[in-house]
Structure 1
Amino acid sequence: MNTTDLAAQQKFVDYAVGHPHLVKAYDAALAAIRGANNGCQVVIVAGPTGVGKTRMAAGLCTSLKEDYANESGQNPEQIPVLYGNAVAAQGACFSWKDFYTRLLTRSGEPMTDKKLAIDRQQNLFADVTLAHYKQNSTADALRIAAENCLRLRKVRCLIIDEAHHMLMVRKNDMASLEFQFEAIKSLALETQTTIVLVGTYRLLDIRDLSGQLVRRSEIIHFPRYDCRDKDQKLQFAGVLKQFLEELPVKHSLSHVRDFRHFYNKTSGEIGILKDWLVRALNRYYQAKKKPGFDMDFLDRYALDNKALRTIATEALLGENKLADISEDALSQLYMGGLAVIPEEQVKPSAPQKKKGTVGRRSPHRDAVGVANV
């Protein structure tokens, strides 16, 4: 691939379309963040995978930094906006320890790996050397350090992309899931920082399972384009037209004739469409003998239909989950109460452990008759 091809490809990669769904979600999120001092502490931006949430989050970060440019100019130590990802856990549950470590590192906090909560231990065991406590940094110590950092650095907004990873818990472990909600709420309240959670529809669990957190939250929907809606079909076709016109290669693709196929192979999601075109363009430039840039060539680099079915199913389930209930249903709840307590609100009681007598071992059978040599 020569330098001319590389430049043409990069120009298309950098090309962005301010399409209607993106603009609407971006404006709503920015307004919610700017108005957070009036009561909202957590802004949730939820949408399907591949819709363009990461690009929108980066745009929010840029705009907010401009908002606080004068304030941070007068206070060099201030970091008005922090942006980062919630990295998926290697195990079954999200690692807050890893999250706090990355947060402190991004903010330039020194000696992140040396954070220890030892004040209380030192008071109790003053004669024990400090080296005795130098083990791995605890999540509590890192949490305190992160809270202090956000306060002292005067962070106004913390944007967390891929935030649905924060809700990763073992299957049916509602207690751990509730802990995740409470940790997010406490971080916002203790630091008076507006937290922006950007992720998939999994974030809607916050609304359904945590009344305290949702009271301090505002949910922004960033949807795909739904082909069942005539206006949205036209909007998707308009975005498709702009991308096809921007392609730096000759082609015969049409946003009218090929609309249905483009929609089916992207599930109406602009991020998937852009990734598909970028992937095909890269392979085109890599080819020594240039093929025709037509639909047959594009289809080689499209997602397979099973993957698209999974994406579409998740999107439809998320849209249904986002749908509100009627006011009549709410009135019936107020007047009639709960006929059945929802399963997610029922907390199984922990099994009672039998208490033994101090100094007396529990009965068990000792080995007899054979000596170990």
Structure 2
Amino acid sequence: MQKRTEFSADSVNDAIRAISARHTGHPGDDIILLCGRSESANASLAKHIVDAALREAHQFAKASPRAIPAIYVEAPRSVEYISFWHYFYEQILAQLGNYREPPEVQYQLHSSTGRIIRPHRIHRNTLVALRTAVEIGLRERQVQFLVIDEAAHILHQTSGSCSLEVQLGTLKSLADLCGTLVVLVGSLDSRQLVSLSPQLARRTHVLHLEARPPVT
């Protein structure tokens, strides 16, 4: 049975190296929860991770011009399940580009008259359509790291360990399908929430950042 690993880093660069090593050895496997000193410092920390990943992947990006090695999003504060994930996926797509399929049109024939019935459009902004578009975009853009700031918003979205497992299970399946490492950035209370469930604890690897993020 896989156990959660907890490790610490003395600098942001150490944290980035640890995250990169995790992705190299286990692409698309598990989730990393990066706990910084405070909520105010975590935003700059998350963006610094993305910037560093982009610099490290400079040669890779030259070989694959459409590639986006890392992207940054902030977990929304919405408490409603549908609107939360809808806005979350929209944020990712805003950086990946529009991977949503054109609305499908279903033509039907009237059984008695044989006439064509006005087509019914399937909306491309449904939650399923957005999720599918994100999966396609992450794969085609070869995104290695999906850095999510304000991780507590995901963990606090619903109460109870079962609901928490659903939230992280959604992210875990996204990582599995796309080979992208999900990095959640939050404070110590996020770690406490993850610890509520043994299943969550096994899925999530916690990295404690001891040093302050650099001033950029």
Q: Same fold (TM over 0.5)?
A: yes
- In the aligned structure 1, how far is the partner of 2:176 from the partner of 2:44? 27
Match of 1:286 in 2: none
Give the share of equivalent positions with the same residue, in percent. 26
Match of 2:127 in 1: 139
In the alignment, structure 1 residue 87 sits paired with structure 2 residue 76:
yes
Contact 1:47 1:221 in 2 (8 A): yes
State which of 26, 32, 37 in structure 1 corresponds to 2:18. Answer: 32
- In the aligned structure 1, how far is the partner of 2:196 from the partner of 2:18? 20
Give 2:144's aligned amino acid: R
CA pair 216-115 structure 1, distance change in 2 beyond 3 A: farther
Contact 2:15 2:209 in 1 (8 A): no
Deviation at 1:64, TM superposition (A): 0.8
Match of 1:97 in 2: 86
In the alignment, structure 1 residue 197 sits paired with structure 2 residue 195:
no
In the alignment, structure 1 residue 215 sits paired with structure 2 residue 176:
no
Give 1:199's aligned amino acid: G
Residue 190 of structure 2 aligns to a residue whose secondary structure is helix
Residue 143 of structure 2 aligns to a residue whose secondary structure is coil
Question: Which 5+ residue runs of structure 2 have no aligned equivalent?
Answer: 1-7, 110-116
Give 1:142's aligned amino acid: L
Deviation at 1:131, TM superposition (A): 3.8
Deviation at 1:177, TM superposition (A): 2.4
CA pair 50-207 structure 1, distance change in 2 beyond 3 A: closer
CA pair 51-132 structure 1, distance change in 2 beyond 3 A: closer
Residue 208 of structure 1 aligns to a residue whose secondary structure is coil
Match of 2:168 in 1: 181
Residue 196 of structure 2 aligns to a residue whose secondary structure is helix
CA pair 144-202 structure 1, distance change in 2 beyond 3 A: farther
- In the aligned structure 2, how far is the partner of 1:132 from the partner of 1:144? 18
Contact 2:9 2:207 in 1 (8 A): no
Equivalent residues in 2 for 1:131-280, closer than 5 Å? 131-134=120-123, 137-170=125-158, 172-204=159-191, 205-209=193-197, 211=199, 213-222=200-209
Deviation at 1:67, TM superposition (A): 1.1
Q: Which has the larger radius of gyration?
A: 1
- In the aligned structure 2, how far is the partner of 1:102 from the partner of 1:185? 18
Contact 2:46 2:185 in 1 (8 A): yes
Q: Deviations over 1:31-51 (max 9, x none)?
A: 222112312542211245345
- In the aligned structure 2, how far is the partner of 1:80 from the partner of 1:197? 16
CA pair 157-79 structure 1, distance change in 2 beyond 3 A: same
Q: Larger RCO: Structure 1 or Structure 2 (Cα < 8 Å, ≥ 6 residues apart)?
A: 2
- In the aligned structure 1, how far is the partner of 2:30 from the partner of 2:119? 38
Name the structure where strand makes up a greater proportion of residues: 2
- In the aligned structure 2, how far is the partner of 1:54 from the partner of 1:169? 19
Give 2:146's aligned amino acid: L
Which sits farther off after the overlay, 23-32 or 57-66? 23-32
RMSD (Å), alpha carbons: 3.1
Q: Deviations over 1:264-311 (max 9, x none)?
A: xxxxxx79xx9xxxxxxxxxxxxxxxxxxxxxxxxxxxxxxxxxxxxx
When normalised by structure 2's length, the TM-score is: 0.75
In the alignment, structure 1 residue 55 sits paired with structure 2 residue 44:
yes
Deviation at 1:206, TM superposition (A): 2.7
Give 1:67's aligned amino acid: E
Q: How many residues align?
A: 195
Name the structure where helix makes up a greater proportion of residues: 1
